[in-house]
């Protein structure tokens, strides 16, 4: 009788394995959701994050992986020239290498955030290791700048279910992601970085890099030149460039 149904023999042998197949499919789906939640800037799966300024006329420029003596001093001068404040997410070991430069960032009125001690992918770490990464970075920034950072950004944007608890244990700094980026994390000409920043709009938190997590003196001249190009143009378009401190954003973790 089975022979009367095309494909019946194949279905007969597949049916007993259906629960296993469904289980495998569910596992794959769950893994896909976890991966999306861990890396997508828009994901809120592993706790609330900040991605926008909440002000359609304000852009928040954020710089990761410093301080970097090869670029950060020139960037600070450029921001001063335009009377602009930004937010710097600093790596603890870089702060320990250049404490005076980290202190200079604070002294010039810029916001500072915790970008961990060694820049690991936090989604792969234990809560205890995340606690240590955040604590060590907080300590380095406090020693250099005189205060603990108000903001936190996970390296690579990677998060996991263990992150919100670790952040709360270290003071509850808001986790800051981004809504626009320039893919400037490797050396390149300034032109493509300038082109990518054309997509930045009022309300965006923009991800940029003044440092390199792999080295203490990374080449980020392309980022500097792109910011030099866009600052006057954003101003002419009626945009206000502000630090996260100036925007008085409320913590989503409260």
What is the rounded average pLDDT for all residues in the chain?
Answer: 88
Instruction: Report the distance separating Cα 159 and Cα 166, nearest Å.
Output: 11
pLDDT at 24 over 80: no
Q: What is the pLDDT of residue 33?
A: 53
The CATH number of the domain covering residues in 58-247: 3.20.20.370
What is the pTM (predicted TM-score) of this model?
A: 0.85
Which strand (E) or helix (H) includes residue 64?
strand 58-66
Contacts of 55 by beta carbon, 8 Å cutoff, 6+ apart: 202, 203, 240, 247
Instruction: Report the distance separating Cα 238 and Cα 199, nearest Å.
Output: 15
**80 is an active site residue:** no
Domain ranges of the chain: 9-39, 58-247
Q: What is the mean pLDDT of residues 201-217?
A: 98
Q: What is the mean pLDDT of residues 232-249?
A: 94
Q: What is the pLDDT of residue 250?
A: 56
**213 is an active site residue:** no
Instruction: Report the distance separating Cα 101 and Cα 93, nearest Å.
Output: 13
Q: What is the mean pLDDT of residues 170-191?
A: 96
pLDDT at 132 over 60: yes
- Report the share of the chain in percent with pLDDT over 70: 83
**CB-CB contact of 49 with 39 (8 Å):** no
Q: What is the pLDDT of residue 2?
A: 43
- Report the share of the chain in percent with pLDDT over 90: 79
94, 110, 115, 209: the catalytic one is: 209
Question: Quick one: pLDDT band at residue 18, thresholds 50, 70, 90?
Answer: low
């Amino acid at each position: 009788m089975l022979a009367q149904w095309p494909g019946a023999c194949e279905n007969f042998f597949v049916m007993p394995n259906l629960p296993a197949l469904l289980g495998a499919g569910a596992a794959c789906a769950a893994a896909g959701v976890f991966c999306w939640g861990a890396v997508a800037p828009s994901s809120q799966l592993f706790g609330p994050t900040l991605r926008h300024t909440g002000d359609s006329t304000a852009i928040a420029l954020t710089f990761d992986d410093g301080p970097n003596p090869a670029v950060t001093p020139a960037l600070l001068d450029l921001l001063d020239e335009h009377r602009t404040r930004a937010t710097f997410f600093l790596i603890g070991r870089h702060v320990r290498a250049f404490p005076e430069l980290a202190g200079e960032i604070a002294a010039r009125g810029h916001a500072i955030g915790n970008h961990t001690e060694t820049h690991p992918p936090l989604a792969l770490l234990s809560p205890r290791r995340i606690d240590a990464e955040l604590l060590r970075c907080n300590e380095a920034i406090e020693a250099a700048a005189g205060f603990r950072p108000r903001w936190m950004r996970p390296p690579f944007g990677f998060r996991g279910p263990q992150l919100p608890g670790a952040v709360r244990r270290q003071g509850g700094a808001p986790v800051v992601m981004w809504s626009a980026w320039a893919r400037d994390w490797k050396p390149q000409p300034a032109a493509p970085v300038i082109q990518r920043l054309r997509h930045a709009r009022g309300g965006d938190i923009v991800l940029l890099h003044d440092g390199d997590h792999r080295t203490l003196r990374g080449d980020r001249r392309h980022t500097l030149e792109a910011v030099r190009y866009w600052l006057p143009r954003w101003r002419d378009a009626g945009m206000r460039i502000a630090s996260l401190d100036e925007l008085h954003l409320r913590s989503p973790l409260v």
